[in-house]
Amino acid sequence: MATSRTLRTRARILDAALDLFERQGYDATTVNQVAEAAGVTPMTFFRHFATKDAVLVTDPYDPLIAEAVGDQPGHLPPLERTRRGLLAALGDITPTEDATARRRVALVARSPSLRAAVAVGTEATQDAIVERLVADGTDRLDAAIAAAACLAATTAALLAWGTAPDDVTLAQLVRRALAHLAPAGAPS
């Protein structure tokens, strides 16, 4: 298969980008610099990552999250249903698979333009949740409000994790964030 070469190139670009972004800042680093450091043409960079920020911002979790929300009891109000769904999907997440996750999040936390990119990505997740709730009869606006609030709290936790001490777990912070949205100091 031809993917092995692809994967190696992609990894080289990613390494070079992470390195340069950390050393001189995201905004101060051009795609050309990253490409050159990776021994590659700028054009090739964009063939592997659709945008400059795509190197750092990726979230393929949408379908899982929407499913987890749908799995919660349908008689609950949308906010609580979403909250429990997110808790189920992310409450015990452990990004061991990707040791660079924290570096990426730390970079995102530092750059406004990157946080904007995260917001765009989050919107897709929000839409997925909304569609799932609407399918069960929830009013669209109510669903959007619930999803937006829960995801915003979760994102705040994610960004905080980027600059938190090493022994702090992402799952811990997410649980803490969602606990704030629990009905009146209620259980878990």
Partner DNA sequence: ACCCAGAATGTTAGTGACTAACATTTGGTC
Partner DNA sequence: GACCAAATGTTAGTCACTAACATTCTGGGT
* Of the residues 156, 162, 171, 175, which one makes contact with its own copies according to CB under 8 A: 156
Residue type, 155: T
From 15-23, 26-34, 82-90, 145-153, give the range in contact with DNA by CB under 7 A. Answer: 26-34
CA distance 62 to 68: 10
CA distance 99 to 105: 11
Note whether 58 binds DNA by CB under 7 A: no
CA distance 40 to 95: 29
The distance from CA 144 to its chain's CA centroid, rounded to whole angstroms, is 18
User: Rounded to the nearest whole angstrom, what is the least distance from the CB of residue 77 to its own copies in the complex?
Assistant: 8
Q: Residue 70, class by beta-carbon neighbours within 10 Å (0-12 exposed, 13-18 middle, 19+ buried)? A: middle
Which residues bind to its own copies, rule: CB under 8 A? 77-79, 112, 115-117, 119-120, 123, 141-142, 144-146, 148-153, 155-157, 159-160, 173, 176-177, 180-181, 183-184, 186
Could you list the residues that contact DNA (CB under 7 A)? Answer: 1-6, 9, 29-32, 39-44, 46-48, 50-53
